Chains A and B, each alone.
Chain A
Amino acid sequence: MSDYRIQGATGDWEVVIGLEIHAQVTSNAKLFSGASTEFGAEPNSQVSLVDAAMPGMLPTINGECVRQAVRTGLAIGAEINKYSVFDRKNYFYADLPQGYQISQFKHPIVGHGTVTVDLESGGTKEIGVERIHLEQDAGKSMHDQHPQYTYVDLNRSGVALMEIVSDPDMRSPEEAGAYVTKIRTILRYIGSCDGNMEQGSMRADVNVSVRRVGDPLGTRCEIKNVNSVRFVRQAVEIEARRQVDIIEDGGTIDQETRLFDPVKAETRSMRSKEEAHDYRYFPDPDLLPLEFDDAFIEAARDSLPELPDAKKARFMEALGLNDYNASVLVAEQVSAAYFETLVTAVAKATGKSEADVAVKASNWLTCDLFGALNKAGISITETPVSAEQGAGLLALIEDGTISGRIAKDVFEIMFETGKDAADIVEEKGLKQVSDTGAIDAIIDEIIAANPGQLAQYRAGKDKLIGFFVGQVMKATQGQANPGVVNKLLKPKLDG
């Protein structure tokens, strides 16, 4: 259980959060028409007469959108409803030419499922998903282009959305953010939505209420269209605070729709109360019930890749990664894919098993490569060092050709130039010296040159061994194998 509390003047309050995530289904054509879904086209160029709601036009469902909704349901272990119904949700707005949105009300395509989210404390929490249904997106209104007019573009009108409705299971801004992150990760893994929140292909309506711990649920407010994980967290925090202040001042919360303004760090009411919504849902008479068989569901199931939770468990159990590294690597499918290519290539180059090289590979990837990518402000898809090249570097450390310290320098050059590790080591003469004869000779020179330190060492200051190791490394420009140096040095110092 979360122990996140809002501290009010009269005591602690608990926040209760439920989320409705709208995820644009990855498809070429719209949910009920053959118009394109591509982003960024000329206004109204991707609009069929169905999307424009011309009289007599009839909707025909896009099978791919159905398949993607089923895959999404299966990915969260949800019940799949072989029989579902499209309803009309009626409301009046300029970017909704039909005067209703085709949605699913009573009989959604996907029933109850569960998502496991990772928390910063290292623990996990199960969040229920009440349902997923298919519905149409609306057009886009632009209010700032003309002093008297709102401009309406219907390109988005009719694009398929999945509305993913959670149970009110979240109790802190962190949990809400972690849930959105996890849903996005799952959608990206299975490819049913690109999860791009900046372009609006995934957005969240955040329901927030507050209560005394143990009390029944309070009245909730819905914060519409929050479009980043960070904003979800901020919106929850700010809205919960607002509600606590009102209740403690003796007021009551009105159930309403609000807007989050990240610049002013506030939420504010969106609609006047007079416009209280009355959607008058009824089954769409233009559409028969949506039905499919078990074979359709099984084919959808067979098309699913390994999901993030399963992948994480495998990384931990079969490859010995710790929880943190495994979580970081599975969060994005490209990172996980990079890691798997890396491990396979290192194992192949060194003749060791994948389990033997995986932990070092994960450390190098999450610290060195991710660190460098972060610093350069680029994503892993743009990495100048490929997984094969990374494996080349790790193999050189593994077989003793270079030391871990030299590897850091080599990696820096790789990251800048995109060259292979072996070539850099060759060009710059960075090979680690493991030749005992050569190191032996250097050690003798160093000992001879530092009689004072030797005497102190022999008098009991055995920490001075560090000084000698340092001198040897310096003399070899860091290329001596530290293991060999230590092994040879100690008996000589001890006399």
Chain B
Amino acid sequence: MSNIDRATVAKIARLARIKIEDDKLEPLAGELNNIIGWVEQLSEVNTDNIEPMASVVDAKLRWRDDKVTDGNKAESVLKNAPNAEYGFFAVPKVIE
């Protein structure tokens, strides 16, 4: 059985860059434990020799041809960026 504690919640939040107040860590840990515990009921089923199922419908991965069909839309790509300069995304400096 899994056990998600405060520290794990804080770590996951940091990895996902989601800010969570300290007083929310404990309650979230409880909620996550409930969710995982519920999902883990599935482990009661014997799945020996059963291939993992990739899709619920009988579908195959669709392939595309090696042709340039897209691009030349820098304006659209940058439209929602909080900041853009000279055609680049401009983000807070990410190097020391």
Binding site for B on A (CB under 8 A): 27-29, 33-36, 42-50, 52, 60-66, 85, 90-94, 99, 141-143, 145-146, 148-154, 278, 280, 283, 287-291
Give bound CA distance, A56 to B21, whole Å. 30
Give the distance in Å from the alpha carbon of A141 to the alpha carbon of B91 in the complex: 10
B39 CB to nearest chain A CB (Å)? 14
Report whether A62 and B70 are in contact in the complex, using a CB–CB cutoff of 8 Å.
Answer: no
**Secondary structure class of chain A's binding surface, majority of residues:** loop
Q: Are A66 and B74 in contact (CB under 8 A)?
A: no
- Residue interface mask B49-81, A partner, CB < 8 A = 1: 000001100011111111111111110111000
Q: Provide the bound-state CA to CA distance between A148 and B61, in Å.
A: 43
| 12 contacts across the A-B interface (CB closer than 8 A) | A29-B67, A35-B70, A42-B87, A52-B77, A146-B90, A148-B93, A149-B90, A150-B92, A151-B89, A278-B11, A283-B54, A288-B55
Task: Note all chain A residues with C-beta closer than 8 A to B92.
Answer: 148-150
Decide: A47 and B15 in contact? CB cutoff 8 A. no
Residue among B71, B72, B86 facing the most chain A CB atoms (10 A cut-off): B71
Q: How large is the interface on B (under 10, 10 to 19, 20 to 34, 35 or more residues)?
A: 35 or more
Question: Which residues from A are CB-within-8-Å of B62?
Answer: 60-61
Bound together, the chains give a CA A19 to CA B4 distance in angstroms of 36
Distance to closest chain A CB from B44 (angstroms): 22
Chain B contacts for A146, CB-based, 8 A? 85, 90
The answer to whether A28 and B68 touch (CB under 8 A), given A49-B77, A143-B94, is yes
Contacts of B83 in A (CB 8 A): 149
Q: CA A257 – CA B67 in complex, angstroms? A: 37
Can you add 16 more A-B contacts, CB < 8 Å, to A90-B15, A154-B89? Answer: A34-B67, A34-B70, A34-B71, A36-B71, A43-B86, A44-B78, A44-B87, A47-B73, A49-B73, A60-B62, A62-B65, A62-B66, A149-B91, A151-B88, A280-B15, A290-B61
Complex CA gap A358/B96 in Å reads 58
Evaluate whether A44 and B91 lie within 8 angstroms (CB atoms) in the complex, with A28-B68, A63-B64, A283-B54 already known: no
Q: Is the interface of B mostly helix, strand, loop or mixed?
A: loop
- Closest chain A residue, CB of each to CB of B17: A92
Whether a CB of chain A sits under 8 angstroms from the CB of B1 is no
Q: How far is it, in angstroms, between the C-alpha of A62 and the C-alpha of B74 when the chains are bound?
A: 22
Most-contacted residue by chain B among A29, A92, A289 (CB, 10 A): A29
A64 contacts across to B, CB distance below 8 A: 65-66
Contact A47 B77 (CB under 8 A): yes
Query: Given known contacts A42-B87, A150-B92, A291-B60, is B66 in contact with A63 (CB within 8 Å)?
Result: yes
Interface positions of B (Cβ within 8 A of A): 11, 15-17, 54-55, 59-74, 76-78, 83, 85-95
A288 & B86 in contact (Cβ 8 Å cutoff)? no
- Measured in the bound complex, the distance between the Cα atoms of B92 and A146 in whole Å is 10
Chain A residues within an 8 Å CB radius of B64: 29, 34, 60-63
Q: Are B88 and A33 neighbours in the complex by a CB distance under 8 Å?
A: no
Q: Which residues of B contact A288 (CB under 8 A)?
A: 54-55, 59-61
Which residue of A is nearest B61, CB measured? A288
> What total of A-B pairs shows CB separation below 8 Å?
135
Residues of B with C-beta under 8 A to A52: 77
Set of chain B residues within 8 Å of A60, measured between Cβ atoms: 62-64
| Closest beta carbon of chain B to A101's beta carbon, Å | 14
B91–A61 touching, CB < 8 Å: no
CB distance from A343 to the nearest CB of B (A): 36
- For A44, list chain B residues within 8 Å (CB): 74, 77-78, 87-89
Known contacts A92-B17, A93-B94; is A43 also within 8 Å of B74 by CB? yes
> Across the interface, which residues of B come within 8 angstroms of A46, CB to CB?
71-72
Which residues in A have their C-beta under 8 angstroms from that of B74? 42-45, 47
The CA of A368 and the CA of B65, in the complex, are separated in Å by 46
How far apart are the CA atoms of A64 and B63 in the complex, in Å?
9
B70 touches A63 (CB 8 A): no
How far, in whole Å, are A346 and B7 apart by their CA atoms in the complex? 76
Once the chains are docked, how many angstroms separate the CA of A148 from the CA of B83?
12
| Residues of A contacting B85 in the complex (Cβ-Cβ under 8 angstroms) | 146, 149, 151
Docked CA distance A99–B17 (Å): 10
Question: How far does the alpha carbon of A280 sit from the alpha carbon of B66 in the complex, in Å?
Answer: 31
Contact A289 B54, beta carbon cutoff 8 Å? yes
- Minimum CB–CB distance from B9 to chain A (whole Å) comes to 14
Q: Which residue of B lies closest to A67 (CB)?
A: B66
Task: Assess the A63–B65 pair: CB atoms within 8 A.
Answer: yes
Report whether B70 and A48 are in contact in the complex, using a CB–CB cutoff of 8 Å. Answer: yes
The 6 lowest CB-CB distance pairs between A and B, nearest first, are A34-B69, A64-B66, A151-B88, A34-B70, A48-B70, A152-B89
A61 to B94, CA, bound (A): 31
In the bound complex, CA of A392 to CA of B6 (Å): 81
* CB atoms of B70 and A33 under 8 A apart: yes
Closest approach, in angstroms, between the C-beta of A33 and any C-beta of chain B? Answer: 6
Q: Which residues of B contact A48 (CB under 8 A)?
A: 70-71, 73
CA distance A306 to B59 in the complex (A): 38
CA distance A154 to B74 in the complex (A): 10
